[in-house]
Each structure stands twice: as structure tokens, then as C-alpha cells.
Amino acid sequence: MIPSILGFGCAHPPQRMDTTRWLALATAIAPPRVDRSLLQRLADRSGINQRWCAAATDNHPAGFYASFGSLPPGTAARMELWAGAVRPMAFAACSDAIRTSGVQASSITHLVTASCTGFAAPGMDQWLIRDLGLAPSIRRTNIGFMGCHAAINAVAVARDAARADVRARVLVCCGEVCSAHLHYGERVDQWIANTLFGDGAAAVVVSSGLPQTPEAPPSLGAIIDACSLVIDGSEGAMTWEVGDSGFSMGLSAEVPALIERALPEWIDAQLAARGLTRSSIAGWAIHPGGPRVIESVVRALGLPTEAGDASRGVLRDYGNMSSATLLFILERLVRGGVEGPIVALAFGPGLSAEMLLVSALPRSQTG
């Protein structure tokens, strides 16, 4: 049997941040030499209307950062913010994924976690075992520091486990607290990154064997394949490094052009190997590294503008939540009634690209 997605779950912190609150946060942490009109322009061009931000408080948009005054918090303090925010988000997302999957938490055999915004041991995997009541003997895999495309890597691990054993029930969870890594410096690329990111968690349950209970929903989509590409000559185009004051992103303006050059030939080869073409694809889940990334993919592949609508919608409503974002987009497409193959695409440090091919089922079969 083909491994399939049985349930989705998505979550975010309670602190909603509209553009006004975001600009108040950005103004609070930006050095005096950073032009405040630049912050406004970046916000206007971001494609984001709102996001959820664990670093904010009800009383102050820059709550976490305000407590440190003019000095940026160190990495240890940022890890405390990550741990305190990611645990309840991951629990909420996984609870929804398990509930909608029709499986029992006690029957889950494998757990795959992904985060590039924090580390702890015990970490997300053991927190979820305790909070969800998962079996203490569950097989665990943690995918760390891969960046925005880690959801595809995590689902690929789940697919492999489900292919190896029809009895496997795999819970995948991506949890990211990007607001733990806002930077105080003057580099424009870091302010672009500050402007684009939000916080969130997403989860799916994957299995080759469908639940055998009358009330259990059917599969939401078969996982056909996953594939990867490290783009030549792009090693310095996107970086993600651990520093003394949090994790630091390096982001070249060449990223969209590199994606445009590498994508068409690679995508066509992957689809052709499975008897498909671009015109065969019913839905596109494009990770929104920013509006330019979405537009670059749409343009490079000759897709209609509306092919990027689901990605633009998630960017608008949540911001870029790193690895969790792609599952938000995929959930939106599947729940929105897309029938047929879906290509999910994401990009990360390297510069690397990941592709997931999912065959969404007709609505008559998914309810």
C-alpha cells in the first residue's frame, strides 16, 4: 500500500501581530542608524498582514526583547523562549493531527520531529511522548537545522517507515519559533529575514494501513515520492549559523535567480520519471521564502499566477514559519478540495531544494 497522510494539525502562539505591532517591535530593537522608513518599506513588500509571535506579550510587542534593553539577548535566553513556546504549539498541532487521522495516540509507532530554531535535550520528541501519552518505546527521529524545507525531509522519513511496515503509524511534527532569532544589527538581509518570519507548528500522521474503524476518515492524500537537489554554485546564497546572539541568517539577493535557473530542468525530470508533466499537477505548495520566491517559481515553471495563491495566502496570514509553513500550505490545498497530484517545493541553506509529490484524493473519497 502507498503511504498516505491521514490527518493534519496546525498551531501558533497566542500573540497575534499585525503590521502596526510588527513595526513597533522592529523599531524597538533596530539600532538608531537603521532608517525607520526601511522597516516600513520591508513590511509593505513582505506580503504579510499578520503573524503570530511568541516573543511578543499583551503589554508590549517586543516583550521578550524589551526585557534586555538595548543589548541583544544571548543564545541561551533565546533557547528558553523557543522551548517555552514550541512545546505547547507542537502539542496542539499533534493533537489535531491525531484526532483528524482516526488513529489512537497509543498506536503511533514512530515520531519524526523537525526544528531549525531551537535545541534542547530532552526536546520536542520527549515532550510530545509525555504530553500526548505516546508509547515510551516509540521510534524517534529528529531533523535539526535543515531550514525551511525540513518538513519534506521529515515526511520522507515517515514515508520510508510506512513503506517498510504496513503497521507503522508515524507522527510528524515541525515546530518553529523564528521570533527567538530577531537581530539588532544594520545588515539589510537580516532585516529582510526579521520581517518575513513568524512562529508556528504543524503535524501530520502518515501510514500505509488505513484505520479500520467506521468513524475513521479516509486518507487525505498518498505520498508518491520525495526528491532533493543541491544547486551548484549556491553555497553562500543562504546560510543559517549559530552565533552568540541567537542564530544568524545570511540571505543573498541572488536566491530567486538561482532558483529560477535550476528549477525547470530538475522539476521536469522528476515529473517525467513518474509519467507526469507540469500540466498534470493540480496544486502547487510553494514555500514562501518571501513574495519574490513564490513569483520566481511561478515564472520559472510557466505556471498561472493563481498557482501561487495558497502560498501567498499562508504567507499573508502567518508569515514564513520556516519548516512548519509547507504543511500549512499543503493542508490548505487538500482541505480546499484540490483533486490530483500536488507538488510541494521548499528551499533552504545550501542552496538546496526539496520536492514532495502528493496525490490528493477526490473530495468524494475524503469527505
Give the residue numbers marked as catalytic.
148
Rounded Cα distance between 247 and 237, Å, is 16
Q: In Å, what is the CA distance from 317 to each residue of 12, 23, 48? A: 11, 16, 7
Q: Which residue has the cell 545588515?
A: 187
Pairing of strands 283-286, 199-207: unpaired
Judge residue 233's burial from the number of C-beta atoms within 10 Å of its C-beta, 0-12 exposed, 13-18 middle, 19 or more buried: exposed
* Alpha-carbon radius of gyration of the chain: 20
Residues 6+ away with beta carbon under 8 Å from 244? 74, 75
Helix (H) or strand (E) holding 229: strand 221-230
Query: What does residue 130 show for φ and ψ, rounded to 5 degrees?
Result: -70, -45
Helix (H) or strand (E) holding 259: helix 255-272
Judge residue 332's burial from the number of C-beta atoms within 10 Å of its C-beta, 0-12 exposed, 13-18 middle, 19 or more buried: buried
Spacing of C-alpha 60 from chain mean position: 26
| Residue 290 · residue 47 · CB < 8 Å | yes
| Residue 320 · residue 198 · CB < 8 Å | yes
Grid coordinates given for 50: 499578520
